[in-house]
Amino acid sequence: MTTTTWIIIGAIVLIGLIIISLYNSLIKLKNRVDEAWSDIDVQLKRRYDLIPNLVSTVKGYASHERETLESVVEARNQAINSQQKNDTKVQAEAENSLTSALKSIFALSESYPDLKANTNFLELQRELSDTENKIQAARRFFNSNVRMFNTKIQVFPTNMIAKGLSFTPYEYFEIETAQAENVEVKF
């Protein structure tokens, strides 16, 4: 074999190693995004389990606030159903609706001093607040991983490999502007 042949073989091996390295880094980042989504999913399921208890506690004190309670139950059911669609954007919208509905229950408690003083309600409210904080932390972790993955598949030379292997960007789990505002409850 000639020197030229060895140089060509060396170049092919080097290019192959670079492609393998880039592919492996894409897989690692993709798995981190999937893991981060799983963390969000765990916290969302925890919230889904707490909501029926909260609704039943509030029902006893605010039975004529049926519309508010039904909206929470409906938002919870939509959020649970959105998980089956495997669409981050759809699930994020459903979760944002549920967050808004939960805010209205907590705002409702301001009008019912007995409810506000009820230990079950206070404990459920504390648990939900803790869960909401964990969801926010998991959302930040997820979005950070999405940013890293999306950046990786968009920069050269990884973008050529990512495109050839059908890696697609993930969508961020974002809160809508309307969801960030305070809920107004009128009687």
Question: Taking each helix axis from N to C terminus, what angle separates 3-61 and 88-109, rounded to the nearest 10 degrees?
Answer: 30
Which residue would you say has higher pLDDT here, 8 or 67?
Answer: 8
pLDDT in tens, 170-186: 999 876 644 444 444 33
Domain that holds residue 18: 3-180
- pTM for this structure? 0.68
Asked if residue 186 belongs to a domain, the reply is no
DSSP code, position 41? H
User: What tokens does 132 get?
Assistant: 């909401």
100: domain CATH number is 1.20.1440.20
Mean residue pLDDT across the chain: 81
Largest CA distance in the chain: 91
For 129-140, what is each residue's pLDDT tens digit? 888 889 899 999
**Does the structure show a pLDDT above 90 at 8?**
yes
Question: Does a structural domain hold residue 11?
Answer: yes
Q: What local confidence, expressed as pLDDT, does residue 180 receive?
A: 46
The per-residue pLDDT for range 105-122, each reduced to its tens digit, is 777 667 766 666 667 777
150: its two tokens: 């999306």
pLDDT tens, position by position, 23-70: 999 999 999 999 999 998 888 888 888 888 777 777 666 555 667 777
- The answer to the question of residue 124 being in a domain is yes
**How much is the pLDDT for 73?**
80
Q: What is the DSSP string of 12-36?
A: HHHHHHHHHHHHHHHHHHHHHHHHH
pLDDT of res. 10: 94
| 42 within domain boundaries | yes
- Cα separation of 73 and 59, whole Å? 12
Residue 155 — φ and ψ, nearest 5°?
A: -95, 150
What's the pLDDT tens digit per position in 142-176?
999 999 999 999 999 899 989 988 899 999 987 66
Question: Minimal CA–CA distance to 131: which of 33, 54, 31, 32?
Answer: 54
Q: Count up the domains in the chain and report the number.
A: 1
pLDDT > 90? residue 17: yes
Tell me what pLDDT residue 184 has: 44
In a domain, 158, yes or no: yes
- Evaluate whether 61 touches 112 at the Cβ level (below 8 Å): yes
First to last CA, the chain: 89
Instruction: Retrieve residue 59's tokens.
Output: 């029902």
Residue 185 falls inside a structural domain: no
**Any domain includes 71:** yes
Q: Is residue 51 part of a domain?
A: yes
